[in-house]
Amino acid sequence: MSQQEDAAANGAGADDEGVTILASHEAEGRGLDGDGAELSPQPADDAESADDAEADGAAAQPRLSVADLELEGEVAADYIEGLLDVADLDGDIDMDVEGDRAVVSVVGATLSELVGRRGEVLEALQELTRLAVHQQTGHRTRMMLDVGGYRQRRRAELAEAGQDAAEEVRRTGQAKKLWPMNPFERKIVHDAVAAAGLRSESEGEEPERRVVVLPVG
């Protein structure tokens, strides 16, 4: 197993069971069923845009105003604050607008429970929060939830993994399959491979869907 794969498999400790159960029960109770139909393997440009859409968790929609995005952030922050209270966890909540999405970040001393293995708890919490925003605002949201800077760290790790894979494929001329990733992670790798001048595609079904880096030609 590579260093990147090892890092991906150890996103947090084993003490996230309680929050995982909380998130799964919330999702079950609200009828949350994911972000749409499974996508089949496709060329790099299509795969990148598909994973981007999956990572965003929403279909294309008119650009929202800053005021609308700030409202999304406020609704999301209130929802996360309620979850923290239920789980008896401490954390400060920061809200911001980056580009065309609201970003809500939870910062604190002990937040590994909110991230989980490979960010699985964080992804579940983000989907629950997006659903809460949708129910209050009436439109799908691209709101991004981060906990303890996890997404920023993962972005750097995955970009490096994509660059390393592209260099290996260019050197060997052989396609390389990476480990299973969620849509957020796959989009970052697709971007890194494209920046290195190669193509990539996504194959498989969730939760085993992964990026395949393709040689030239």
- Tens-digit pLDDT profile for residues 81-119: 999 999 888 889 999 999 899 999 998 766 888 898 888
The Cα–Cα gap between 1 and 107 comes to: 31
Q: What is the mean pLDDT of residues 15-44?
A: 39
Structure tokens at 194: 């494209």
Closest CA to 105 of 117, 88, 121, 122: 122
Average pLDDT of the chain to the nearest whole number: 79
Portion of the chain with pLDDT greater than 70, in percent:
71
Residue 26: closest CA among 149, 159, 114, 129: 129
pLDDT at 112: 84
143-178: burial string, b at 16+ Cβ within 10 Å, e else: bbbbbbebbeebbebbbebbebbbeebeeeeeebeb
Q: If pLDDT is split at 50, 70 and 90, which confidence band does 50 have?
A: low
Q: What pLDDT does 113 receive? A: 83
pTM passes above 0.75? no
| Most confident by average pLDDT, 7-21, 27-41, 56-70 | 56-70
DSSP codes, 89-144: ---EEEEEEETTEEEEEEE-S--GGGT-GGGHHHHHHHHHHHHHHHHHHSS----E
CA distance 199 to 41: 13
For 46, counting Cβ atoms within 10 Å of its Cβ (0-12 exposed, 13-18 middle, 19+ buried), the class is middle
- pLDDT for 2 equals 45
Q: Model confidence at 45, in pLDDT bands (50, 70, 90)?
A: very low
Give 113's contacts (C-beta < 8 A, 6+ positions apart).
12, 15, 16, 18, 19, 87, 89, 121
What's the confidence (pLDDT) of residue 61? 63
**Per residue in 180-205, pLDDT tens?**
998 889 999 999 999 999 999 999 99
Averaged pLDDT for residues 164-169: 98
Listed in sequence order, the residues at least 6 apart from 78 whose beta carbon sits closer than 8 Å to its beta carbon are none
